[in-house]
Each structure stands twice: as structure tokens, then as C-alpha cells.
Amino acid sequence: MRIRAPAKVNLSLRIVGKRKDGYHLLDTVMIPVDLYDEVQISRSKSKKAALGDLKVTCNHPLVPSGTANLAYQAASLLLTRKGILDPVHIHIRKGIPVGGGLGGGSSDAAATLKGLDRLFGFGLKRREILSLAASLGADVPFFIDARPARARGIGELLRRLPFFPRLWMVILYPGFPVPTRWVYRHFRFGKLTKAIENTSIQISLRDSEGLKRLLVNDLEKVAMRRYPRIAFLKQRLIQEGAVGALMSGSGSSVFGVFPSRQIARGAFHRLRKEGVEAYLVRSLS
């Protein structure tokens, strides 16, 4: 069984507080885009495979196997809960840059839950699969549906954004990951960013100036101080005609929102000629 696991970008990411356990409280707008990992799940046919044997592999050297992999954790959680001892092999083919703030690991975990549900015919109810997803990480529930949403809390409180317009974007990956924990650890609370107004999201998407106001990421300055390449790539997107540009999540990728597919495509080709790792994508709804 093969399942495509989409990436996401954060059109807005605001830090609005911090819990006693150290987790930061967010108000963020996340949208899935048509950049994918592929998750392949199969029951192992190897004669050497033992009952309860779970194997996770990946074609990218920076992605861990075993218990350090979020897809492994997702599979182990679900199979243990359902009492399944069949040997299972999961292979991940990366199309989403690693450590780029695009949610690849979380998306792979969500795809693993959905894939195992279909493969074994568990018939998981929505509430059950969302609960499992939330126990794995704050971004994983978003990828169960993979539709535009506003997320609050630590990212697990989701509200869908209906009638979301198609956006054409170019994503640039600087060639290195940024550790999520490092970024949050070095974020310093000053004057907290205001939460996103309920009415501002749809209004912002209707005009370029409104979109620019929506494109806020409180973690950008933290990452850019240590990695100036991120700021450089963001500026290049603006120079190439993006209405606005932003770092996604905790970095390291940046994306630009363009007025049309044609303009985005032109920017994409020019940036690739400069040797930048670039992806031409559109939002999914």
C-alpha cells in the first residue's frame, strides 16, 4: 500500500503564550501543499521476520529508523493497541526536505496511521485516529485531514478554513535543517504577538496588502540570526515577484506567495538556475 503524505506551510505563526510544562502556545494558519513524501506499508513476507517485528526504512540518510522515527512510533502505537503481531515493513521515500519546517515527519506519521487502518481494516473512528495522532505530536492531527486549518493550543486545536483559495507558491530549502527544539528554546518573549483575528484570515487572502499582514512568523528572527541564508532566500522571493514571503514553521524553508501560476513558475525556474533547491507548489483544499 502506498500513501502520499503532503507537506504544509504556515501562512502565519504567532506565539501567544507558554504552558507550565514548557510548551509554547500557538496561533497558526497551516495549509497543505502538493509536495509529497511517499509512505509504503506492507506486511512482511520474509521468513526471517518474527511476530511483532516492525521495520521502518527511508531513502534519506538524515531520517532515523527505529523508535526515533515518528512513523515507527505511530505504527507501534496503533499495532500494539490493536494487538497485531503481524510483521510490518514501512518504507518512506522523501520528497519533502528534511528539517525544513514543512511537517514531513508529522505527515508521514499521519499517513502511517491511515495506511495501517486501511491495510488491517480497523475501521478507526475519526475521534480515535485524531486522539492517536495528538499523542504523537502537535502537527500530526492536522495531517489526518490535510486541509487548510487554523491551529491553536500547542497546535492540536484545529478549526478548518472552508472555501480556501488556491495559492501558487515557491518553496526554497537552504540545504540544511534547523532543529525545532533549538528555535523554540532560543525564542525570547517580549511583547507577545496578538492572536489572529477571526475575520482577518479570509480578508487577508483577498488582497495582497492583507496577505502581507497575515504573513507573520514569530520564530523567523530567531532562526535568521543564526542562519542568515534564510533571510537571503526570503528576500530573493520578494525580488522575484512574490506578494509576500515567510519562513515556514521553525524553519529552515521559506516560501513566497505569487499572484499567479505563471509568475511563480518563472521565479521557480530562475531560482533553480541559481542552484537553489526550489519547489513550485500550490495549496490543497
Using the predicted structure, report yes or no on whether residue 47 has a pLDDT greater than 60: no
pLDDT for res 46:
64
Mean pLDDT of 67-72: 96
Identify the domain boundary among 109, 137, 160.
160
User: 6 and 120 in one domain?
Assistant: yes
Which CATH number is 186's domain given? 3.30.70.890
User: 217 and 149 in one domain?
Assistant: no
User: 38 and 62 in one domain?
Assistant: yes
User: 45 and 177 in one domain?
Assistant: no
**C-alpha cell read off for 26:** 500557538
Q: What is the pLDDT of residues 181-207, one digit of tens each?
A: 999 999 987 655 566 665 467 656 667
For residue 107, the number of C-alpha atoms closer than 13 Å in the C-beta half-sphere is 31
Using the predicted structure, report yes or no on whether residue 5 has a pLDDT greater than 90: yes
Specify the 3-state DSSP secondary structure of 85: coil
Distance between CA atoms of residues 99 and 223, nearest Å:
13
User: 97 and 54 in one domain?
Assistant: yes
Identify the domain boundary among 112, 129, 160.
160
pLDDT for res 197:
60
Query: Catalytic pick from 108, 139, 218, 234?
Result: 139
Query: Exposed, middle or buried, 76 (CB in 10 Å: 0-12/13-18/19+)?
Result: middle
User: 230 and 122 in one domain?
Assistant: no
Distance between CA atoms of residues 164 and 283, nearest Å:
9
pLDDT for res 22:
84
Percent of the chain with pLDDT over 70: 92
Which CATH number is 97's domain given? 3.30.230.10
Contacts of 177 (CB under 8 A, 6+ apart): 62, 97, 98, 99, 100, 252
Q: What is the pLDDT of residues 137-165, one digit of tens each?
A: 999 999 999 999 999 999 889 999 988 88
Identify the domain boundary among 139, 160, 181.
160
Query: Catalytic pick from 8, 94, 114, 234?
Result: 8
pLDDT for res 74:
98
User: 176 and 156 in one domain?
Assistant: no
pLDDT for res 164:
86
Comparing 39 with 49, the larger pLDDT belongs to 39
User: 154 and 174 in one domain?
Assistant: no
Residue ranges making up the domain that contains 200: 168-282
Q: What is the pLDDT of residues 218-227, one digit of tens each?
A: 999 999 999 9
Using the predicted structure, report yes or no on whether residue 265 has a pLDDT greater than 90: yes
Query: Exposed, middle or buried, 81 (CB in 10 Å: 0-12/13-18/19+)?
Result: exposed
Specify the 3-state DSSP secondary structure of 245: strand
User: 109 and 205 in one domain?
Assistant: no
pLDDT for res 51:
58
Q: What is the pLDDT of residues 77-88, one digit of tens each?
A: 999 999 999 999
pLDDT for res 207:
72
pLDDT for res 202:
63
Mean pLDDT of 12-34: 93
Q: What is the pLDDT of residues 89-108, one digit of tens each?
A: 999 999 999 999 999 999 99
User: 276 and 194 in one domain?
Assistant: yes
Count structural domains, the chain: 2
- What mean pLDDT is reported for the chain? 92
User: 75 and 110 in one domain?
Assistant: yes
Q: What is the pTM of this model?
A: 0.93
User: 28 and 84 in one domain?
Assistant: yes
Q: Is 139 noted as a catalytic residue in this protein?
A: yes
**C-alpha cell read off for 276:** 537553489
pLDDT for res 156:
86
Mean pLDDT of 53-68: 94
